Structure 1
Amino acid sequence: MARTLSDKDLSILKKLAPECADTTCSGSGFHYQSILPPVSNHYALDDDDFEERLKRLDLFELRYLAEVILDGSESLCCVQPEHAEILARLLSERVSEDLGKRVMAFYTAAGEGSY
């Protein structure tokens, strides 16, 4: 589902990728419509870097990400499979095991992204 990133979304994106100066995807030319795909594909150097970026988020921000993933407004379709697993693990460890499992099930049901 396409969306315009809210101020809260942009704040989280900047926390995850402070080097993000422009919210326009270099590949498509469109503004980012989700938070995690650009971090996964454009800013994180590797799996460890992606995890370190997610660890910058507080519990409220992690829970918010999970909520917008589960309501379908935050896309995981282009998130690398390893990064989806990292996100689900961190949600399980820091927020709730159930939430981590639900996010991973949502990702898997969507065909493990189109990455």
Structure 2
Amino acid sequence: MFGDIMGMMGKLKETQQKIEETKKRLDTVLIDEQSNDGLLKATLTANRKVKSITIDDSLLEDKEQLEDYLILVMNKAIEKATNVNEAELAAVAKDGMPNIPGMDMFK
């Protein structure tokens, strides 16, 4: 039984390391989003850090329109990045979970 516990602890530690490696890798995964007309573009990492925003000059003339564009595009980009982030981390966590009776909620 003690060996089983040590094996589970080792597996959990290995899984934690894989999760940390995945988080670092997600800093290099880029998510691009743009407005329907292409006047505003944003790039985020899968860890939801903004890398770039490109604004067409025509949007600079209307502050309210620019704000609306920013809200819409950034929300869509954040949602996509969150989906990628959660899927990647869940896959690593699920793969690395030891078989503990009663803890099958991750499978």
Q: Report the TM-score range of the alignment, normalised by the length of the smaller protein.
A: under 0.3
TM-score under structure 1 length normalisation: 0.23
Higher RCO (Cα < 8 Å, 6 or more apart): 2
Structure index of larger Rg? 2
Structure with more of its chain in helix, by fraction: 2
Structure with more of its chain in strand, by fraction: 2
